[in-house]
């Protein structure tokens, strides 16, 4: 998600274990990250972020590396 020209929201998916049911559930966190102008990132690309000093009220991470994902593998809304 593109917040401004130099900041992006990175969605971090993970699994959370529930001991009562002995199963995992899907969860996610939205992490605001600073995006250097040298990176050409599109929505759906996989990025590596690293912690840094506070850059603004909410931004505490930098984009370190990007990995382009093929167009057909991007996450899109599917109709049922």
Q: What are phi and psi of 53, to 5 degrees?
A: -65, 160
* Region 7-69: CATH code: 2.40.50.1000
Q: Output the pLDDT for position 42.
A: 86
Rounded Cα distance between 30 and 1, Å, is 10
pLDDT tens per residue, range 39-60: 888 888 889 999 999 999 999 9
Res. 14: pLDDT tops 60: yes
Q: How far apart are the first and last CA of the chain?
A: 24
Quote the pLDDT of residue 69.
74
Domain ranges of the chain: 7-69
């Amino acid at each position: 998600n593109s917040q401004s020209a130099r900041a992006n929201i990175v969605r971090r998916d993970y699994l959370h274990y529930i001991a009562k049911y002995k199963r995992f559930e899907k969860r996610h966190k939205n992490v605001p990250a600073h995006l250097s102008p040298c990176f050409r990132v599109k929505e759906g690309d996989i990025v590596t972020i690293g912690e840094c000093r506070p850059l603004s009220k909410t931004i505490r991470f930098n984009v370190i590396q990007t990995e382009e994902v093929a167009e057909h593998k991007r996450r899109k809304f599917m109709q049922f």
